[in-house]
Amino acid sequence: MVIWVKTTIDIADGLLSEAKQRAGAEGTTLRAYVERGLRAVLNDAKSPERVEYRPVTFELEPLPGVDPYDWDAIYDSIYDRP
């Protein structure tokens, strides 16, 4: 039995725009690009580098000018939204 799942992914605007343009120029789809990229990552024989986990044991201070309680502003700064 085959199950098709539709999902939404959040891709940086510049990367998405470039991928759409190139896919159109090559006569393929953005979906094909995403599937090809996922296959490449999943078939990569190298195992990902492991990063040592170290718990934070001290109090963190927010960056200057960043309100740690304003999630929308944090989200906008992460994803370069105006």
Kindly report, residue by residue over 3-58, the tens digit of the pLDDT: 777 888 888 999 999 999 999 999 999 999 999 998 888 887 676 677 788 887 88
Q: What is the pLDDT of residue 48?
A: 66
User: Is it the case that residue 81 has pLDDT exceeding 70?
Assistant: no
Residue 46 CA to residue 42 CA, distance in Å, equals 10
Confidence of residue 82 (pLDDT cuts 50, 70, 90): low
Q: What is the pLDDT of residue 52?
A: 81
Residue 35 CA to residue 60 CA, distance in Å, equals 39
pTM score: 0.48
